A and B are shown apart, each in its own frame.
Chain A
Amino acid sequence: GAVVSQHPSWVICKSGTSVKIECRSLDFQATTMFWYRQFPKQSLMLMATSNEGSKATYEQGVEKDKFLINHASLTLSTLTVTSAHPEDSSFYICSAPADRFEKLFFGSGTQLSVL
């Protein structure tokens, strides 16, 4: 299957700082990538759709100024959590479709802990 690489795997930061998470498609090009958030024992919640060369599309209730998404190339999307607060602590996962839009391949996830 296709490989999606996500870094870092975990990050601890102080409240008020910004954190950047990278998502790369290693063996395919991805014009679209998705960013999800997952709380313990809960399912994936779609936060935004990242589009190469254009603005991201955010789901209802997701603050676009807080969760900055940049999709600068066909293999890289980044999510920056700005001015992080403890309530932003969560597991963030990116994904990208390879050969079909419905066939998503996921990164390994990033556990963010904001102190």
Chain B
Amino acid sequence: QKEVEQDPGPLSVPEGAIVSLNCTYSNSAFQYFMWYRQYSRKGPELLMYTYSSGNKEDGRFTAQVDKSSKYISLFIRDSQPSDSATYLCAMSAGGGNKLTFGTGTQLKVEL
């Protein structure tokens, strides 16, 4: 079993839809949870950074962390074609430990 599981998609939604992207993990030591957006042949861009459980909102993006279920989510409201990209979740136990990445979910937002 991988330490972090993420559905690779592709996930195709119409413009304006609410998108839900998810990751599950097995390492209970993870404390820091990140979401990155990666366009084709570009480096990942940090979207959301959260510590421990709870919600965090930034514009159209909301990150949720449920440590009891070992489950994290990224919601995108009013999705736009420009949101079409691969979304990677990443996690760390902190204390200088390296990040563990999911495989990424490819999202397509269609007009």
| Cross-chain contact B46 with A91 (CB below 8 angstroms) | no
| Cross-chain contact B88 with A44 (CB below 8 angstroms) | yes
Option from A1, A41, A101, A109 in Cβ contact (under 8 Å) with B43: A109
Q: A43-B88, A43-B104 are in contact. Are A105 and B34 (CB under 8 A)?
A: no
| Cross-chain contact B88 with A104 (CB below 8 angstroms) | no
The verdict on B7 contacting chain A, using a C-beta distance below 8 Å, is no
B residues less than 8 Å from A112 (CB atoms): none
Which of chain A's residues has its CB closest to B4's CB? A43
Q: How large is the interface on A (under 10, 10 to 19, 20 to 34, 35 or more residues)?
A: 20 to 34
| Cross-chain contact A107 with B88 (CB below 8 angstroms) | no
Contacting chain A: which of B67-75, B77-85, B95-103? Answer: B95-103
Q: Which A residues contact B (CB, under 8 angstroms)?
A: 1, 4, 6, 34, 41-44, 46, 49, 91, 93, 95, 100-109, 111
23 A-B pairs whose Cβ atoms sit less than 8 Å apart in the complex: A1-B46, A34-B98, A41-B106, A42-B103, A43-B101, A43-B102, A44-B101, A91-B41, A95-B43, A101-B94, A101-B96, A102-B32, A102-B92, A102-B94, A102-B99, A103-B46, A103-B49, A106-B43, A106-B45, A108-B42, A109-B41, A109-B43, A111-B41
